Amino acid sequence: MIVVMKPGATPEQVQHVVALVQDFGLKEHVISGTDRTVVACIGDKRTVDKGAIENAPMVERVVPILSPYKMASTEVKATKTEIAIGPAGFPMGGRRIGVIAGPCSVESREGFLRVAELAARAGCVGLRGGVYKPRTSPYSFQGLREKGFDVLVEARKLTGLAIVSEATGVEELAALVEVADVIQIGARNMQHYPLLEAAGKVNKPVLLKRGPSAMLEEWLLAAEYIINGGNRQVMLCERGIRTFEDYVRNTLPLAVVPELLERTHLPVLVDPSHGTGHSHLVPAMCRAAVAAGADGLLLEVHLDPEHALSDGAQSITPAALEEVMASLRKIAAAVGREA
Ligand code: PEP
Ligand code: MN
């Protein structure tokens, strides 16, 4: 349920409600808006004396939360969440579309730093690069792992871009948090609940990809795990789902973007690289994602896609990235945004 405070409620009056809620065995999340504060209460409400809360000073009303994902829903928070990423604190979820680009995997120092420079020059706000790679085959390149950390740090120093990198297991999280600005949780791990709970304990934004066969509600409940763990900085990233169709690697369901914008206040990104699997389809799907209302894009860019150690077929070149960015500026303007 949500306890809506009257405008002008003092911090002490909010604290009084929090203490009451805790007395009833519920967990509280205080959300301070511009004109009023709400206290979202999560737990078994059978033990709650709703009247006692309603009668507390400066409480306006108590309303149930109907959606199964609670903290992620627009019922609890109607205003969009902006999440500051990287050294520049770029506000993901704000008016400007945030593009995060870079190779699937960090392969070499020189290659990564060069892509970093070109991505920054093209107007990107984030730099992606996996060091822990969840590969379908155990014989494929598995990533540089900890050996890639220094390069991530160097690239941030060089460009000021926010570093986005994936944790594939709980044991990788603590070290990765020290070097990355955004922790990616990949499609294969969307329902890795211990990892989601652990991500709830870190103080870095999390980019949560949709599982290839996850339904929308399961995805939002996965986000809820992270928020419930204590980390409200969650961004969602659609990366395509598994269907019968095989002209693409995954089917990119862009209707999910406007649907999410109704259901959740969290920033919504789209990954047209994994969402199609083919570089020639990526620019059009970038434009379509922005037209549909996406707050950002996650893109694979490689200097020499034909020789990439992972996901070359879906990686665009830096030159193609520049063209995409130029076209996004027009699309963004047409839908009341900036890119
Ligand atoms: C990736 O971003 O390189 C990746 C492994 O993506 P996904 O988890 O969406 O497959
Ligand atoms: Mn990839």
What would the pLDDT profile of 223-233 be if each residue is shown by its tens digit?
999 999 999 99
Q: What is the pLDDT of residue 126?
A: 98
CB-defined site of ligand 1, < 6 Å: 104, 130, 134, 186-188, 209, 239, 274
Q: What is the pLDDT of residue 34?
A: 81
- 186 CA distance to ligand 1 centroid (A)? 5
| Closest to 222 (Cα-Cα) out of 252, 189, 255 | 189
Every domain of the chain with CATH number 3.30.70.1140 lies at 2-63
AA identity, residue 88: A
In the chain, which stretches have pLDDT less than 50? none
Q: Are 46 and 7 in contact (CB under 8 A)?
A: no
SS3 52: helix
Every domain of the chain with CATH number 3.20.20.70 lies at 83-334
Q: Are 104 and 130 in contact (CB under 8 A)?
A: yes
Q: What is the pLDDT of residue 35?
A: 83
| Closest to 15 (Cα-Cα) out of 1, 32, 45 | 32
Residue nearest to atom 6 of ligand 1 (CA): 186
Name the DSSP class of 130.
Answer: B
Q: Domain 83-334 is of which CATH architecture?
A: Alpha-Beta Barrel (3.20)
| Closest to 131 (Cα-Cα) out of 199, 62, 186 | 186
- 310 CA distance to ligand 2 centroid (A)? 6
**What is the C-alpha separation between 193 and 223, in angstroms, rounded?**
10
Q: What is the pLDDT of residue 46?
A: 83
Q: Are 255 and 214 in contact (CB under 8 A)?
A: no
Can you read off the two tokens belonging to residue 234? 């969650």
| Angle 205-208-210 from CA coordinates, rounded to 5° | 165
> Under CATH, domain 2-63 is a member of which superfamily?
Phospho-2-dehydro-3-deoxyheptonate aldolase; domain 1 (3.30.70.1140)
Q: What is the pLDDT of residue 47?
A: 82
